[in-house]
Structure 1
């Protein structure tokens, strides 16, 4: 383990050293260039850099969510020639030191791809009370905006874009939440959120939209549209988007107790993709790993209709969230 690394709080002036100097660590989909200012200026982020002989060689941030009751480790990275020297451990130790000062944090969370999760489980850190709480199957497709279908969202009467008021009702309704969010956490770009109203700002904002569809649980006539009430909700989805080095990246998560409206949700998301500002679009779809195989097949067939092959990045087959109390 290196003894030379100096850990300090990250500053806006470190942008180039972190973003350009360390480089992209997410296969062309790195979100940090877009979100770096947020990571530095938002009081709910605890961001640190590692320096060796004055050179910034590492970065990591702790994101306080759930009304500051949880911290999520995010954007961790170390320059290649300094990897394996314990720098990331020093960075996370610094975050944990700040978390202790906050005084409200009950849960520590981290999300990683499957191969990193396997490595983590074998490490000493993995033996310190971390439990797997969310397991997602991940699909990643690289598309051209001009080849995407033009979709009229008004024809999907059963799928609605959620307002802040809708989301408040959803977060207040424990029964509906547990029915739709089967693993207990709503992941927004791999940030796992509890049913806490302070999290709504992470679900509806300038970079994220959410959709909900409603079943006929209270309507006997199937031809009658169900009332737009979260108690009738059968499916929920959301998309987060951000610019990346090659164009635009979209990250979509799908949850539900009944996937009858899967195709309509997909088309609502495609409508967002088709309005991207850049020609090249990366679309990532996350589904519950335990989802029925017939739903996965419907996902595949639905995209195939529009000439979109359901593919996976070999580096990102699955995403796993760990929690430590």
Structure 2
């Protein structure tokens, strides 16, 4: 059954955002008891035990915590020696921004100001040059509250979640291949050329942001190394006539709770069924031989046309659409962190 998420529905992956806004009486006494420190690989068990019901049971932290720790700083919150909350933070955008993501808190500690205190701590602990923090939420309620607090909406996206089985995917991969000559892997040199071309970025990234796996990046070359490290594959398709890029996709995979998860971000002008299927097909390729029986795929796109094309194409290839919801990339100024 397909449904569109409403903020009134409890969505565990949004708890960390919503809990930042609690002003209930006595909430801050819990923040006063809170002790925060950076995490290491030895904190793995404690971190993954904070929540088990995130992202429809397909949380990426259990399968990627150690990898993400190489490119982010982890922060854990403790009350009376109990690990009750966690988040990642990292400097991006030439040191001008701190991205805060992967936040989670034990259910019994929600609404007590803990996540808000951790956001402030991580911001000041991590950077001496940043003037803003950036994050992504799927809650319109959280977005509205942040905007009332003088935050800025950077862009809005759609996230579609699909499911299929290994057997169905094998049949899909036997489908006729499209011409791959116009779809090639992208490397750091290609991304640098894209970022430095205002003509290309105005069509591929009209909001002047590249949002991948919960991180809204500015189009500056210092972000490229991090983007490459956190993407398993980047593909680009070019227009036959002009040779200009018209679709770029960033893909990553992880395994969680006996489920293989594929995450794809789509950017660009092309809404051609064959081209979009080629990108999806190549990001998923190989999953038929090593994956668990169940496969979940997240596709994030910035254009309504992409959403409709993706729905139409994947329906033909045995992918079941589970849910669609909005994502909001938000920027908060340094003043709120004081």
TM-score tier, shorter chain, comes to 0.7 to 0.9
Aligned match of 1:201: 225
> How far is 1:58 from its partner?
0.7
Aligned to 2:283: 272
C-alpha separation in 2, matches of 1:17 and 1:29: 18
Aligned to 1:155, what secondary structure does the other structure show? coil
Q: Deviations over 1:248-267 (max 9, x none)?
A: 2111111112333x432322
Q: How does 1:1-325 map to 2 (within 5 A)?
A: 1=27, 2=30, 3-42=32-71, 45-99=72-126, 102-114=127-139, 117-122=140-145, 127-148=148-169, 149-150=172-173, 155-205=179-229, 207-218=231-242, 227=243, 232-260=244-272, 262-276=273-287, 277-279=290-292, 280-288=294-302, 290-292=303-305, 295-312=306-323, 317-325=325-333
Deviation (angstroms), 1:143: 1.4
Q: Aligned pairs, how many?
A: 298
1:271–1:40 distance in 2 versus 1, CA, 3 Å: closer
SS at match of 1:27: helix
State the Cα RMSD in Å.
2.3
Displacement of 1:162: 1.4
Inter-partner Cα distance in structure 2 for 1:56 and 1:291: 41
Q: What CA distance in whole angstroms lies between the structure 2 residues aligned with 1:141 and 1:70?
A: 32
Report what 1:221 is aligned to: none
Shift of 1:212: 1.4
Instruction: Please report the TM-score for the alignment, with normalisation by the length of structure 1.
Output: 0.83
Q: Distance in 2 between matches of 1:207 and 1:133?
A: 22
**Shift in Å, 1:202:** 3.3
Distance 1:61 1:304, change over 3 A: closer
Unaligned runs of 5+ in 1: 219-226
TM-score (structure 2 length as normaliser): 0.80
Deviates further, 271-280 or 149-158: 149-158
Secondary structure of the 1:204 match is helix
The verdict on how the C-alpha distance between 1:79 and 1:206 changes in structure 2, with shifts beyond 3 A counting, is closer
State the distance in 2 between where 1:197 and 1:77 align: 30
Q: CA deviation at 1:60?
A: 1.6
